[in-house]
Amino acid sequence: LSHGAGGKASRRLIEGLLAPYFNMKDLNDAAYVQADQAKIAFTADSFVVNPLRFPGGSIGELAINGTVNDIAMSGAKPLAIVSTLIIEAGTETEILEAEIKAMQEAAEKANVAIVGGDTKVVEHQKADKLFITTAGIGLVDPRVNLSAGRVQKGDKIILSGPIGDHGITILFARGELDLEADIKSDTRAVWPFVAKLIDAAAPGLKWMRDPTRGGMATALNELARDAKVAIVLEEEAIQVRPEVRGACEILGLDPMHIANEGQFIAVVSKEYADDALKAIRQVPGGEQAAIIGEVHESDRHIVLSRSSYGGTRAIDMLVGDPLPRIC
Amino acid sequence: MIRLTLSSRTLSHTFLPDTAICDDCLRELFDPTSKRYLYPYIGCPNCGPRYVLMTNLPFERKNTTMAEWEICPSCKEEYEDPQNRRYHAELNCCPDCGPNYYLTVNGERYEGEKMFRRVAELLKNGEILLMKNNGGYHLVCDAFNKEAVQVMRDKLGRPRKSFAIMVKDVEAAKEIVHLSEKEEEILLSKKRPILIAKSKSEELSSIIAPNNPDIGLMVPYTGLQHLLFHFGSPRFIVMTSANYPGEPTIHKDDQLTRLLEDFQCAVLIGEREIERSVDDTVLKVTKLGAVPFRRSRGYNNLLNITLPSSRPILTLGADLKSTITLVKDGHVIMSHHLGDTSKYGTQLKFERAVKDYLNYHGVALSDTIIGHDLHPEYFTTKFAQTLEGYRHVAVQHHKAHLASILALKNKLSEPVVGVIFDGAGYGEDGEIWGGEIFVGSVQEGFARRGHLRKASLIGGDAAATFPLQALAGFIGDFDKELLDRLQLPEPFPKALKIKEKNIRTFPTTSVGRLFDAVAALTGFHLDNSFEGEAAIGLEYLAGQSPIVEEVYPFPWTGEELDYRPLFEEMIQSRLKGTSPSVIARGFHRSLAQAVVDVITALCKEYDTNYAVLSGGVFHNSLLVSDIFDLLKGTNIEIFYDDEAPLGDNCISLGQAAILSAMNND
Ligand SMILES: [Fe+3]
Ligand SMILES: [Mg+2]
Ligand SMILES: [Zn+2]
Ligand SMILES: [Zn+2]
């Protein structure tokens, strides 16, 4: 198995193996559960990051933000989290304590409670220092109705801010490479933006996703496929910090394939798009949100990116580490 | 119905190439008594567009975009009269019944002679013109007008790449380039390619082809182009296909919107629809023949070879200079240059070409063996996998390069030594190859016998963009102090760090990157704004130093070409203050010597006298001419074909040759 990089390979794993066994129909980041009157969003995610700490964040912080963001992406206000820690025997207490503290701080910031969990210590080399699994629930806002099926021609694609910060930070941290001192992970909880977005544009809000592993390319390709549409992006509207762009250039990477931990994509109907954008921009940290593209009708369910000089490229999902191909 | 005879078999119908206007039509074009006097759509059974207008086979009017124009009685008479030279001219038309041209500029419309005079005036005033030719739109301006050319560069995002120019005739051509007899013949051939010839005019070169020893030029191939010159347009005009870099050339009037928004220029519109765009062919005469850089207009045709196969074969080529090849009943039909498939427009064009090739020739996909490159991430590979063929076969890139030459030479069973140098191709070991030495035959298969010593491809494709980064991949392990003394700018130091941490660093045997590295070492510190920029610059630089003053060691160890001594001495030479052009010249000779050493050793070892050179690196005429010089007096013969593409345009043909040699039942 080499399913770590996200994108096509992990999609194949989920759809080929898990979904049939578990009889899952909608493959979303979070599932909906009806509990009496309340609609609950329910999700779980596991975190394996190397290194554990990196500029801008750490595994503990990711474990909280990753899960609260999955809840937020289902249109729900995150309420509570339980967590499981798998600890490799011999891991220093200070390392552990730092991560527990990071989890607590992130939870506080995101306004969720950590209400329980479990820890297991496994033999040396049966884990890599620390793995964290978190599960969370959120209360679905009754005003939202998210479904790829509602996405249609003319809808706008909104992106919450610059992309690529997290993935490039991790890549550099892993290699102890200090090419650009100013890059740090964008890890954060996105619920505050989503809350305002729902207030401003709930009837027009159709789909959301946080483009983590596999980046924007993977998230949008999944949308194109599930909604049976083509997505056309305006490359110049997509914010990429100069440091990240520089790093991508020199590493032969496409920012669209790089992981993010604090951004999200929303599809909003044309009528609500401006209000939605304004709402996100008004929340501190959302100033760089932008409309980056549009949904088109097509029997090719693909993602295209237009730029003024580069022409129109088809943006594919990431298969793994991209291989050199320029002759 | 058109019948083409080939060997003893016949292929009842296939695509016909587009050819230049013939002398008879040209005479009529300027004969005031002719009914087609000054009529741009003049043509006859011997000349004019074909493939670009076809909507089906066989080639009959109803299967072309001329179908919508009803033939008048006078034209019909010519068509039906066996004595008339327009007997069975499928596209026959005249000003009374056929399409015409008109010019729109600032909302005004011009036709006829006024139109041509206005065009000439505009071009002389330094304006840019969009003009519909047979196979697509071109952007046109006065080639000596610096400002106009700069506007073109800015708007197309093409800062330094050369522009092809059109001149009225050979006399005009001789004012700006050196022409051999063979080159003159090619320039005037019915296929009318863009010929890359040695520049004579520093002034013109500095405007349209900076840092380039050559100028690409052609003479008119349509009545319309002749008319431009006739009515006083500048004698040297840029004639470049109307497209943003990498995108297909625009051939439909309704695709012009964006270009028109950008250029706000005059448009010369022809009323006849173009069914598909076909770019101008670009070729250069070297010791390896009239080598196409881009094999396209006039060359998209049935090849004069056969490939035995019990089933049809369809091969999808490479990714950046894509072509397809169809083998049916042994006949080989190779497409024109389809372009860079990273662009969506090219993907559509490519898919359409595949469909047309199969449909028009009545080939069922389910019966067809599909060949594609070994690279898992090529668009063409992924597209191949969506085709429900009889069987799929992946072919290694450099083996396809080698096989294509042997297919064209009809030497399928001849054992040879093959030296294949290019930028990158996916290797059988999953690494990035590009400096490959093979022995064997198409029939029996090729074995990789050696290669360039592995270097690092730092940042993958980024190393192809930044020559300094390529350089770090070759000399990164050298003594730190020595490297410091070279004082190389970014991205060299960054690339060294990336290599040291082994992030996104791939092993490679690419000779294309070797050229980039040497270009960087001798002063090319820009990025490659187009494919081969640094390498072309290096050949240009070497040309400034006509005599070989230095030669560097580049030993063949029996398994690899070891570039370390080469770089060590080039670096020493640079630090001594030797002029970059002397080093560049020395590098060419050293590489030529290395190639000759390999060929000589392996020909002996495998008891053959035949060698093949292929891959884009061999577009370099200085390198090739050095190799031929060094081989003089030996009994070794280099196989080459006069029209064989050395770049990736050849890959689909090579794949087809290799597939045909397999058991296809
Ligand atoms: Fe190649
Ligand atoms: Mg997640
Ligand atoms: Zn003619
Ligand atoms: Zn007529």
> What are the tens digits of pLDDT across the range A178-192?
776 689 999 999 999
Other Cβ atoms within 10 Å of A37 Cβ, number: 6
Nearest CA in chain A to B258: A308
pLDDT of residue A7: 62
Other Cβ atoms within 10 Å of B322 Cβ, number: 28
CA distance B611 to B596: 10
Nearest CA in chain B to A305: B344
Domains of chain A, earliest start first:
8-140 (3.30.1330.10), 148-314 (3.90.650.10)
Question: Are residues B520 and B382 both part of a single domain?
Answer: no
Do the chains contact at A250 and B377, CB–CB below 8 Å? no
Q: Calculate the CA B209 to chain-centre distance.
A: 17
Q: How confident is the model at residue A176 (pLDDT cuts 50, 70, 90)?
A: confident
Question: Are residues B621 and B650 both part of a single domain?
Answer: no
CA distance B664 to B656: 12
Q: Which residues of B touch A251 (CB under 8 A)?
A: 459-460, 462, 498, 503-504
Quote the Cα angle for B566-B572-B575, to 5°. Answer: 140
Question: Are residues B63 and B172 both part of a single domain?
Answer: no
Question: Are residues B653 and B629 both part of a single domain?
Answer: no
CA distance A99 to A47: 12
CA distance B102 to A41: 64
Q: Kindly report whether the peptide bond that precedes residue B312 is cis, defined as omega within 30 degrees of 0.
A: no
Q: Which ligand is nearest to the CA of A74?
A: 2
pLDDT of residue B508: 98
Q: Final residue of a domain: which of B255, B270, B285? A: B270
**Using N-to-C axis directions, what is the helix angle for B112-124 and B223-230, rounded to 10°?**
70
Question: Are residues B495 and B580 both part of a single domain?
Answer: yes
Report residues of chain B scoring pLDDT below 50. 1-10
Q: Which residues of B touch A168 (CB under 8 A)?
A: none
Of the candidates B343, B425, B501, the beta carbon closest to that of A175 is on B501
Closest Cα in chain A, distance from residue B662 (Å): 27
Q: B239: CA distance to ligand 3 center in Å? A: 23
Q: Say how many domains are in chain B.
A: 4
- Report if residue B282 sits inside a domain: no
- Report if residue B443 sits inside a domain: no
Question: Are residues B651 and B630 both part of a single domain?
Answer: no
CA distance A84 to A46: 9
Closest Cα in chain A, distance from residue B203 (Å): 28
Of the candidates B156, B422, B504, the beta carbon closest to that of A251 is on B504
CB A134 within 8 A of CB A67: yes
Question: Are residues B485 and B604 both part of a single domain?
Answer: yes
Q: What is the CATH number of the domain that holds B545?
A: 3.30.420.40
CB A180 within 8 A of CB A259: no
Of the candidates B343, B425, B457, the beta carbon closest to that of A312 is on B343
Quote the Cα angle for B192-B194-B198, to 5°. Answer: 125
- Report if residue B293 sits inside a domain: no
Total beta-carbon pairs less than 8 A apart between chain A and chain B: 118
Other Cβ atoms within 10 Å of B499 Cβ, number: 20
CA distance B242 to B137: 5
Average pLDDT over residues A56-60: 95
Helices (H) and strands (E) in chain A, counts: 9, 14
Q: How confident is the model at residue A320 (pLDDT cuts 50, 70, 90)?
A: low
CA distance B665 to B661: 12
- Report if residue B594 sits inside a domain: yes
Q: B290: CA distance to ligand 3 center in Å? A: 26
Which string of DSSP letters, residue by residue, matches B338-350?
-B-TTBHHHHHHH
Question: Are residues B481 and B555 both part of a single domain?
Answer: yes
Mutate to test the interface with A, among B249, B257, B323, B344 (most CBs of A within 10 A): B344
Q: Is a pLDDT exceeding 80 seen at residue A24?
A: no
Do the chains contact at A252 and B504, CB–CB below 8 Å? yes
> Of A188, A306, A162, nearest to A247 (Cα)?
A162
pLDDT of residue B208: 98
**Tokens describing residue B637:** 């013969």
- A327 vs B404, which has greater pLDDT? B404
Of the candidates B321, B342, B457, the beta carbon closest to that of A324 is on B457
Q: How confident is the model at residue A319 (pLDDT cuts 50, 70, 90)?
A: low
pLDDT of residue A271: 98
Q: Which ligand is nearest to the CA of B89?
A: 3
**Tokens describing residue B151:** 């506007």
Question: Are residues B187 and B132 both part of a single domain?
Answer: yes
CB B476 within 8 A of CB B449: no
Q: Final residue of a domain: which of B251, B270, B289? A: B270
Q: B433: CA distance to ligand 1 center in Å? A: 9
Question: Per residue in A208-263, pLDDT tens?
Answer: 999 998 999 999 999 999 999 999 999 999 999 999 999 999 999 999 999 999 99
Mutate to test the interface with B, among A172, A176, A326 (most CBs of B within 10 A): A326
- Report if residue B390 sits inside a domain: yes
- Report if residue B240 sits inside a domain: yes
Residue A2, chain B, CB below 8 Å: the answer is no
CA distance B639 to B591: 19
The interface residues of chain A toward chain B in range 21-50, judged by CB-CB distance below 8 A, are: none
Report the relative pairing of strands B560-561 and A265-268 from DSSP bridges: unpaired
- Report if residue B404 sits inside a domain: yes
Q: Is B331 left (phi over 0), alpha (psi -120 to 50) or beta?
A: beta
Question: Are residues B322 and B265 both part of a single domain?
Answer: no
- What domain range includes position B47? 13-80
Q: B31: CA distance to ligand 3 center in Å? A: 14
Question: Are residues B28 and B139 both part of a single domain?
Answer: no
pLDDT of residue A309: 76
Q: Final residue of a domain: which of B223, B245, B270? A: B270
E strand map for B12-150: 101-105, 108-110, 129-133, 136-142
- Report if residue B653 sits inside a domain: yes
Question: Are residues B251 and B139 both part of a single domain?
Answer: yes
